[in-house]
Amino acid sequence: MTTASAEANPHKYIIAFAVVLASLLQVIDNSIVNVALPDMMGNLGASLDEIAWVSTGYILASVIVMPLTSWLGGMFGRKRYFVGSILLFTASSFFCGAAHSLGMLIFWRVVQGIGGGALLTVSQAVLLETFPPEEAGMAMAFFGLGVMVGPTIGPTLGGWITDNYSWPWIFYINVPLGAIAAFMIATNVHDSAHQKKSSSVDYTGIALLIVSVASMQYLVEFGQRDDWFSSKLMMGLALASIAGGGALVWRELTYAQPVIDFRVLRHRQMWVGTVLGIVMGVGLYASVFTLPVFLQNNLHMTAQQTGIVLLPGALATAFSMAVVGRMTSKFDARLLIASGAALFAFSMWQLSVITSASGAGDFFVPLIIRGFGLGFMFVPLTTVTLAELDRAELPQGTALYNFFRQLGGSLGIAGVATIVSHDTIQAHAVLSEHVTTTDPASLARVGMLARGFMAHGADAGVATERAYAVLDRQIYGQASVIAYGHTYIIAAILVLALIPLLALVRQTKSANAAEMMLE
C-alpha cells in the first residue's frame, strides 16, 4: 500500500487545492439550492412543503453519512472511497439538473447527499496527514476556506445562475468541478497506512444512526412549521431521536467493531473541542442564515446585491485564516479562539442595531470584523480539537467533529427561525398598540397614504383600507427588524460562551499540539 509522507509530500498544495474544491462543492450545495426553490416550484408544479424535500433530502443523507466516513474509508480504502464519493456526487448532480419530475429530483438529491457526506470529513483528514505537524494550522486554514466561505458564496452563486440561466445549471456546474477534483485526488492522494478494515458490518449501529439522526434532522427542519412539541409527530420524533441516540452510543461503545468509534471522545481535547464546535456551529449558522434573509426580505435586495454585501466578509475570513494558519505555531490557541469570539460578538452587536433604513455600506465594517473573528476561531479550534488523536484515530475524529458541528448548525438555524417568528409577532403586537384611531401621528400617516391611493383612482373607503394595510406591513417590517436584532445578540452571547470553556483546553501552541498526532 502506498502512503503519503506528511513530512515531505511534494504535492501538498495540489492536494490542498483538490480537497478544498471537494469540500467547497459540498458546502456550497447546502445553500445554493435554496435560492432556486421558487423557480423549481413553478417548473415542477410542486408546493412549498413538497419542494422543501429537495433541500431536506440532501441534508438528511449527508448528515447520516458523515459519522460513517471513517468506517467506509476502512472498508473500501480511503482513496477509493473519496474518489468514488466525488464521482457519485458529480454524477447525481447531472441527474438532478436533468430531472423532469419532483420525485426524481428528490431521489437524486438524496444520492447526491450520500456522496457529499464524505467530502468534508475525508478532506480534513487528508489535509492533516498531508501537511507536516508544524503546518497543521495552515492545513486547517485551507480547509476552513471551504467550510466558512462556502455558505457565503452559495446563495449569491445560486441567485446569479438562476437569474441568468435556469435552475438546472446550479447542478450542472458541479460536473466539471467534480471531475477536476476527482482526477486530482485520484492522482495525488494515497491510502492511509493506519486505516483498518472491519471484518463485519454493524447493521444495528447503522440502523440506530439512521433513526436517531433522521428523526432529529426532520425535527429541526420542520418543527417550527408544526409548532414544535404541540405536534404529536414532532414529540414522537424527539423521543425517537433521544432513544435512538442513546442506544447508538451504548451499542457502539460495547460492540467489538463499531461503525462509529465514540471512544475517540475519551481525549479531553477532542470532547471539549467538539462541544465548542457545536456552540460555534449554532452561533455561526444563526448569523449566516439570518443575514441574507434580512437583506432580501427587509431591505429588498436581490440575490446578486446580497452577494456583493456579503463578499467583503467572506474575503476577510479567507485572509484571516491564512494569517492565523501561520500564527498557530507561535501563539496559544486559546488566546486566538478567545480573540475571535470577542471579534465575532462585537460584530453581532453592531448588526443588532441595523435598521430597515440601513444601506449596503452599513454592513461593511461589521462583516469585515465578523470575517476576522471566524478565521481566528475556526483554525485554532479545529487544530487543538484533533491534536491528541493519533493517525489511526484522525478519520473518526474529523468525522465526529464535523458531524456534531453540522448538528449544531441545524439547531442554530431552527432556533433562529423560531426566535424570529416569535419575536416578530410579539414586537408587532407591542408596536400596534401605539397605532390607534386616536393617535394624531397614525391618523396623519393613514391620511397621507389614503390620499395617494385616491389620486390613483380608488374611492375613499378602499383608499383608507389600503392605507391601513400598508401601515400594518410597515409595522410588521419594523417588528421583524427588532426580531433579527435579538438573534444577533443571542449569537453573540453563544459565541462568548466559548471563552470560559477554553479553560478546559490544555495550554499549548498548536504546532506543539500537532506533533502529538504523530506520537
The CA–CA distances, whole Å, from 404 to 188, 203, 277, 399, 400 equal 29, 22, 7, 9, 6
Say whether pLDDT at 89 is over 90: yes
Q: Which residues pair with 332 in a beta bridge?
A: 509
Say whether pLDDT at 483 is over 60: yes
The answer to whether residues 54 and 106 touch, using CB atoms and an 8 Å cutoff, is yes
pLDDT of residue 48: 64
Looking at per-residue pLDDT, the higher value among 510 and 180 belongs to 180
Which of 132-136, 254-258, 305-309, 469-473: highest mean pLDDT?
Answer: 254-258
DSSP state of 126: H
Q: How confident is the model at residue 122 (pLDDT cuts 50, 70, 90)?
A: confident
The answer to whether residues 303 and 160 touch, using CB atoms and an 8 Å cutoff, is yes
Q: How confident is the model at residue 2 (pLDDT cuts 50, 70, 90)?
A: very low
The CA–CA distances, whole Å, from 51 to 37, 38, 57, 90, 102 equal 7, 9, 10, 21, 8
3-class secondary structure, 257? coil
Q: How confident is the model at residue 152 (pLDDT cuts 50, 70, 90)?
A: low
pTM of the model: 0.76
Q: How confident is the model at residue 91 (pLDDT cuts 50, 70, 90)?
A: very high
* Superfamily (CATH) of domain 1-198: MFS general substrate transporter like domains (1.20.1250.20)
Say whether pLDDT at 416 is over 50: yes
Report the distance separating Cα 329 and Cα 368, nearest Å: 24
pLDDT of residue 482: 84
Within 13 A of 26's CA, how many CA atoms are on the CB side? 38
pLDDT of residue 427: 78
Closest CA to 342 of 315, 373, 365, 321: 373
Q: Where are the domains of the chain?
A: 1-198, 201-258, 262-519
Report the distance separating Cα 28 and Cα 151, nearest Å: 6
Q: How many CB atoms lie within 10 A of CB 166?
A: 14
Rounded to an integer, the average pLDDT of 293-317 is 77
Report the distance separating Cα 242 and Cα 229, nearest Å: 14
pLDDT digits (tens, 9 = 90+) for 326-369: 777 777 888 888 898 899 999 989 888 887 777 778 889 998 99
Q: How confident is the model at residue 516 (pLDDT cuts 50, 70, 90)?
A: very low
Which of 39-53, 459-473, 474-488: highest mean pLDDT?
Answer: 474-488
Rounded to an integer, the average pLDDT of 185-190 is 83
Looking at per-residue pLDDT, the higher value among 36 and 401 belongs to 401
CATH of 262-519, one of 1.20.1250.20, 1.20.1530.20, 3.40.50.720, 1.10.1040.10: 1.20.1250.20
Rounded to an integer, the average pLDDT of 396-417 is 79
Which of 100-114, 116-130, 371-385, 424-438: highest mean pLDDT?
Answer: 100-114
Say whether pLDDT at 517 is over 70: no
Within 13 A of 367's CA, how many CA atoms are on the CB side? 23
Report the distance separating Cα 70 and Cα 399, nearest Å: 7
3-class secondary structure, 436? coil
The answer to whether residues 40 and 373 touch, using CB atoms and an 8 Å cutoff, is no
pLDDT of residue 493: 87
Say whether pLDDT at 377 is over 90: no
Say whether pLDDT at 423 is over 70: yes
pLDDT of residue 513: 44
Report the distance separating Cα 491 and Cα 502, nearest Å: 18
- All residues at 6 or more sequence positions from 346 whose CB lies less than 8 Å from its CB, including other chains: 369, 373, 492
The answer to whether residues 158 and 31 touch, using CB atoms and an 8 Å cutoff, is yes
Mean pLDDT, the chain, rounded, equals: 79
Q: How confident is the model at residue 108 (pLDDT cuts 50, 70, 90)?
A: very high
Report the distance separating Cα 481 and Cα 451, nearest Å: 28
Q: How confident is the model at residue 3 (pLDDT cuts 50, 70, 90)?
A: very low
H helix and E strand count, the chain: 19, 0
Q: How confident is the model at residue 519 (pLDDT cuts 50, 70, 90)?
A: very low
Answer whether 1-198 and 262-519 agree in fold: yes
Rounded to an integer, the average pLDDT of 227-238 is 82
DSSP symbols for 393-424: THHHHHHHHHHHHHHHHHHHHHHHHHHHHHHH
